[in-house]
Amino acid sequence: MRKRLTSIYLFIICLFVVNVSTSFAEEIKLVASVDKNVLTTKDSINLTIMVIGSTTTAQPQLPELEGFNLIFGPSVSSRTSIVNGEVSVRKGFTYMIKPKSAGKFTISPFTLEHNGKKYVSNKINIDILDKSESERIKNSEGGFNIDEKVFVEFETDKKEAYVYDQVILTFKFYYQSGLPITDLEYSEPDTRNFLKESMGGQEQYEVIRDGVIYNVIQLKSAIFPVVAGDLKISPAKVQCNLIVKSKRRRQRRNPLADSFFDDFFGGTQKRYPIVRETDTIVLPVKPLPENGKPADFKGAVGVYTVEIEADPKEVNVGDPITLTMTVQGKGNIQTISEPEIELLNEDDFRVYPPESDATIFSRNRDIKGKKVFRTVIEPQNANVTETPMMSFSFFDPEAGEYKTLMHDPIPIKVKAGEVESPIRLYVRESETDKNHVSIISRDILPIMENLALFSNKSLPLHKKPMFYILFLVPFAAVIASIFLQRFRKRLKTDVSFVRKRRAYSDARKSLSEIKKNPENIAANDGYTRIAHIMTDYIADKLNITSASIMHIKVSNIPEIKKLPQETIDKLVELMDTCDYGRFAKGSGAAEMVLDAINSAEWLINTLEKQL
């Protein structure tokens, strides 16, 4: 009977889990893409419909391919990835199609019915050129227009701005998905006449343009113009290498053997340099208007709020009160000044210079943060009943006008306190002793006589064992606690120290997770994870961003140049292997991924001793 009840409970739990997982299933998405959208009548296209969010759906319905012939398909592939703890699943269906004639054609959207809902993909426009037109877009090496596959964009979020106004500068590097790009090196634009604030590291994502999937690397920064006029932002520049696979020449004796080794090892690789440079941006910057400028305006531009606190609120005359003034909002937080303290009577308070602390808590779409000012005021008489009034003025560039925030005084209670009687002295008016000072009151002190008779019959204090227990042990404990406190504080404040401490353990742990089941990891995904582990390890050890390692060749890093040549060669070899393995199709079996993991482990152990 008991076993039967247990079985019933398990069945009910399973039904509940199935129902919950079904009801909370994520929405799927259909994305149609092609490997190229401009081609000739002799070329073919890989048309892919990707189902994002599920791998158990039916095959999407292929639309009518007007102007194309279906060569073969679909070829089915699936991929599961975990990024920041979030699981992403994709299932792709790839068809090869060939155009019938020249012209402009549109591939209609795919459709799919899943869980009672109908999903529709995007449509794709295709340009089919004849042979004469195609010559102008052909590249002698790759047979395609590289400018359409690798390009950059550079823009600001505003067409014009005010002095000290926040402007978001965005650089985007596009390259077609699957294109083997490596050795990226980014040259920042010259932003003289601007204050600059970083907006975090790079962002990577995918976009679809005209039916083609592009990988995008995005860099953003906030700039604040400090002068008026037409300010120029010089071009941004990116350099990279395109890895092109070239097969070896086949030998006459055994062409099959050559073909096998070409497919397995990938033949040889050539790197073709690519340079992309943006146009110069001219940003008109207007001066702040003089009309309506408040008297207490100190140059703050943005949108802000102010909070005021006073502590304590009950004091004696002359005791300190700490005013905490928090300015929070969007703008150049680092440069704003403290709110204005307005004293109706200067004899009521003594005001000391403030101390400030700025914190930026958002670097997503724009710079947001807060700046805390702490100033001490001392009431000078018991008639004071409230703190001074405070005001903060700023220019709102979105509204195009000045705004002033007034904060009402905070009630306080000031006591007169106890008055200490001073020692009173007077001079006797005597002819014989005119300058003799007489003390009206004195303390009564005992008179100690025959001090020589007093002596300590016991051992000196420093020779007693308890001295070490009562003094030295607590002293040692205090010293140890000071060092422990400094160590903990360093863990909280010294980012470089924390990154270096955790670099080795994090890298070893990540490699162990891959090494447990290398056969369950797709080769391309395995190479990608190994490359990320190596770049993250080097970045943590050297206290640099992972993005900067992508921008320059790893062997050009100054700290890496100082290593033994054997270590540098193995590091470059591993990074090249990962670069090729990430982009090459069918790049290897689990054994090859395992070899790369072993090389990474050897390098991490070696770099831990040499860096």
pLDDT digit string, tens, across residues 157-198: 999 999 999 999 999 999 988 888 888 899 999 888 999 988
Residue 99: domain span: 29-137
Share of the chain above pLDDT 90, in %: 31
Is 363 inside a domain boundary? Answer: yes
> Do 506 and 391 fall within a single domain?
no
Is 448 inside a domain boundary? Answer: no
More confident residue, 479 or 147: 479
449 has pLDDT over 80: no
Q: How confident is the model at residue 402 (pLDDT cuts 50, 70, 90)?
A: very high
Share of the chain above pLDDT 70, in %: 75
Lowest mean pLDDT among 71-85, 109-123, 127-141, 182-196: 127-141
pLDDT for the residue 73: 82
Q: What angle do CA 433, 438, 440 make, to 5 degrees?
A: 155
Is 503 inside a domain boundary? Answer: yes
> Average pLDDT of the chain?
79
- The Cα 224–Cα 234 span in angstroms is 15
**SS3 track for 461-513:** HHHCHHHHHHHHHHHHHHHHHHHHHHHHHHHHHCHHHHHHHHHHHHHHHHHHH
**SS3 track for 251-317:** CCCCHHHHHHHHHHHCCEEEEEEEEEECCCEEEEEECCCCCCCCCCCCCCEEEEEEEEEEECCEEEC
> Do 224 and 316 fall within a single domain?
no
For residue 134, how many other CB atoms are within 10 A of its CB?
19
Each residue of 235-249: pLDDT tens digit?
Answer: 999 999 988 766 555
> Do 281 and 346 fall within a single domain?
no
448 has pLDDT over 60: no
The whole-number average pLDDT for the span 17-43 is 68
55 has pLDDT over 80: no
Each residue of 507-560: pLDDT tens digit?
Answer: 888 888 887 765 556 556 778 888 888 888 888 888 887 666 655 677 778 888
Domain count, the chain: 4
> Do 166 and 277 fall within a single domain?
yes
Q: How confident is the model at residue 281 (pLDDT cuts 50, 70, 90)?
A: very high
CATH number of the domain where residue 122 is located: 2.60.40.740
> Do 239 and 128 fall within a single domain?
no
CATH number of the domain where residue 564 is located: 1.20.120
pLDDT for the residue 594: 82
**DSSP letters spanning 415-447:** E--PPPPPPPEEE---SS-TT-EEES-----PP
The whole-number average pLDDT for the span 19-27 is 47
> Do 505 and 578 fall within a single domain?
yes
> Do 34 and 77 fall within a single domain?
yes
258 has pLDDT over 50: no
pLDDT for the residue 487: 77
Lowest mean pLDDT among 64-78, 98-112, 141-155, 322-336: 141-155
pLDDT for the residue 139: 45
> Do 273 and 311 fall within a single domain?
no
339 has pLDDT over 60: yes
Residue with tokens 């700046």: 371
- The Cα 318–Cα 542 span in angstroms is 52
> Do 227 and 98 fall within a single domain?
no
Each residue of 459-473: pLDDT tens digit?
Answer: 666 666 766 676 677
> Do 160 and 267 fall within a single domain?
yes
- Domain end, chosen from 385, 415, 445, is at 415
CATH number of the domain where residue 350 is located: 2.60.40
4 has pLDDT over 70: no
Is 71 inside a domain boundary? Answer: yes
153 has pLDDT over 60: yes
- Domain end, chosen from 394, 415, 436, is at 415
- Domain end, chosen from 415, 432, 461, is at 415
